[in-house]
Amino acid sequence: MPTQSSNGSIIPAGGNKDSVVAKAMDGSDVNVPLNKVFYRTSLIAQLYVPTIMQLDLNNFIQISVGVGIHNVQESIIPGATYTDDRNGRHPLAPKDKADNVVDLVRVSNPVSPHLAVEYVNHRNSKFGLSIAYDHLFSFGGWIELLQDHLRLELGFTTPLIRDPKPWEPDNFFSITPRIYF
């Protein structure tokens, strides 16, 4: 059975409540202790139209407009406790699905606007800067270290104008070396 720490997209549920109410297979409500529930990203997608404006021979700006999809589920892996229907229990899943993830409820807004602006300089030292919004604000930059082979990308992401959701960190940094041929 997978553990909560075995997947980076699974985050333990939190908050002030002690349990969540789940619908059993027979339609009855079942209280599930909070320590059995976790957040899981079930889908991330973007659909956008980029427009490139060349400022001069070496500089351009790319503007992207579209939609982003980010589905987060409050989920449980039932195990035997929530699949055994003896003693008046109401199963959340059939016994043969005890080790599968069961989504209790989608807790995120499924669709958000996607807006991004990127500046790119293609002179001798190539670099780029970007800002984007797609349910979170992202700020980034990159510089090419080995021409046409290696670049270093830095990013910072944060909710910025709202409090983070329970499954989101307050903010995070990313450093990504990108090798290409």
pLDDT at 36 over 90: no
Q: Does residue 156 or residue 21 have the better pLDDT?
A: 156
| pLDDT band per the 50, 70, 90 thresholds, residue 82 | low
CA distance to 53, 69, 71, 82, per residue, from 41 (Å): 35, 11, 6, 22
User: What is d(CA 155, CA 134) in angstroms, rounded to the nearest whole number?
Assistant: 14
Q: What's the pLDDT tens digit per position in 117-160? A: 999 998 878 999 999 999 899 999 999 999 889 999 999 999 98
pLDDT of residue 18: 72
DSSP element (H, E) containing 147: none
Q: Are 44 and 8 in contact (CB under 8 A)?
A: no
Compute CA distances 71 → 14, 15, 40, 105, 149, whole Å: 18, 19, 8, 10, 35
User: What was the pLDDT predicted at 157?
Assistant: 94
Band the pLDDT of 85: cuts 50, 70, 90.
Answer: very low
Domain ranges in the chain are 7-179
Size (the chain), residues: 181
The β-bridge partners of 73 are: 40, 106
Strands (E), the chain: 10-12, 19-23, 29-33, 37-54, 59-76, 102-106, 111-121, 127-133, 137-146, 150-158, 172-179
d(CA 95, CA 77) in angstroms, rounded, equals: 12
The DSSP output letter for 79 is T
pLDDT digits (tens, 9 = 90+) for 4-18: 334 444 555 554 467
Strand 19-23 and strand 111-121: pairing? unpaired
pLDDT at 3 over 60: no
Confidence band of 89 (pLDDT split at 50, 70, 90): low
